[in-house]
Amino acid sequence: MTANLFGLDREGLAAALSPYGARPFHARQVYRWLYARRAYAPAGWTDLPRSVREAVGQDTCVDPGRIVRRTEARDGTVKALIGLADGQAVEAVSMVQRGRVTFCLSSQVGCALACDFCLTGRMGLTRHLTPGEIAGQVALLQDDRAQADPGFNVVFMGMGEPLHNYDGVLGAFRLLTDPEGFALSRRRVTVSTSGLAPAIERLATEPERPRLAVSLNATTDALRDRLMPINQRYPIERLLSACRRFAEVSGERFTFEYVLLSGVNDGDDDVRRLAALLRRVPAKVNLIPFNPVPGKLPYLPPSRERVLAIRDRLLSAHLPASIRWSRGAEARAACGQLAVLEGEA
């Protein structure tokens, strides 16, 4: 397979380019062409010797992936099916709310964690994405939306468990936040995890790290075991310990995400226990009404009135709480709805 330069860092580019007579400083120049200027044709890399450009152009490629299909919802949310070099595909989402652009990225083809309310979990795990395949989603969504300004947000809340693909996600994060790369502020990048406690603790020690969101979704181990099998390995107390460690080491607050499932985790006792948990850690909670997938997932969201009542009860207890209302649901682009199922690619 032809070597793909997209996704390589400076060191990787230096190694890939050296057989063609490139000098070490040429790697930094190519890095800027790829990620800052988004110029993929070596012939246009005018600050490199022509002989190097010609040789690199013959033997390598620059492939960020391609949008195979796009589906647009009435609210302007766009879901993109992105084809990868090996024939696999993932979904990524571009949305705008109150003038703020957010890209929702996938980190794996499928997911191994099998959360019961998430459509991606029905796929199983095929493989991790590379840093280039992850950063490539941003490049493609930027081009699709003609979004040249780096004033957008990135959330790793698409297909896959980001911290299961720790090295791939952190490699992409470094490309996205490098001033000579995509030049995105690190505080505009959020990684959402279902609760891989050791990886949360590892993330806290990174010199530069994204924001953290932890998908909680239950207040007892018995229920969380059923909804999120990862809880059997890292139960709530172990997860809370990792979250406290993250806050202590990083000095940063994080977010709990709580998907509201009607009749399952939205009762008065659930809300009382959720409030007690929030008092123990420096976190806010983002309430997410479940996005239904008729015929594929057996859950429903609570009524709007119930969602508001839960938020108000938390706020009245002086606990930080907000609601993430659905975006792009009719295009199956909302939280928990991303998947490439058999016969749909």
Given 72, 91, 243, 252, the catalytic residue: 91
127 class by beta-carbon count within 10 Å (0-12 exposed, 13-18 middle, 19+ buried): middle
Selected from 2.160.20.70, 3.20.20.20, 3.20.20.70, 3.40.50.620, the CATH number assigned to the domain covering 66-331 reads 3.20.20.70
Q: Is 243 a catalytic residue?
A: no
Look at residue 290 in the predicted model and tell me its pLDDT: 93
Residue 211 neighbours by CB distance under 10 Å: 19
Whether CATH 3.90.1640.10 fits 3-61: no
Can you say how many angstroms the Cα of residue 72 is from the centroid of all Cα atoms in its chain? 20
DSSP string for 38-79: ----GGG-TTS-HHHHHHHHHHEE----EEEEEEE-TTS-EE
Residue 122 main-chain phi, psi, to 5 deg:
-75, -15
Beta-strand relationship, 108-110 and 125-128: antiparallel
Confidence check: pLDDT of 334 > 60:
no
Structure tokens at 214: 């932890």
* Residues 136-155, mean pLDDT to the nearest whole number: 88
Q: How far apart are CA 231 and CA 239, in angstroms?
A: 9
Look at residue 335 in the predicted model and tell me its pLDDT: 61
DSSP string for 274-342: HHHHHTTSSEEEEEEE----TTT----PPPHHHHHHHHHHHHHTT--EEE----SGGGT-STT-----T
pLDDT tens-place string over residues 19-43: 998 999 999 999 999 999 999 999 9
Q: Where are the domains of the chain?
A: 3-61, 66-331
Q: How far apart are CA 99 and CA 27, in angstroms?
A: 37
* Residues 89-114, mean pLDDT to the nearest whole number: 93
By percentage, how much of the chain surpasses pLDDT 70?
Answer: 94
pLDDT tens-place string over residues 233-272: 999 999 999 999 999 999 999 999 999 999 999 999 999 9
Look at residue 333 in the predicted model and tell me its pLDDT: 46
pLDDT tens-place string over residues 194-231: 999 999 999 999 999 999 999 999 999 999 999 999 99
Confidence check: pLDDT of 344 > 70:
no
The pTM (predicted TM-score) of the whole model is 0.93
Q: Is 161 a catalytic residue?
A: no
* Residue 294 pLDDT class (50, 70, 90 cuts): confident
Confidence check: pLDDT of 133 > 60:
yes
SS3 106: coil
Given 61, 208, 335, 342, the catalytic residue: 335
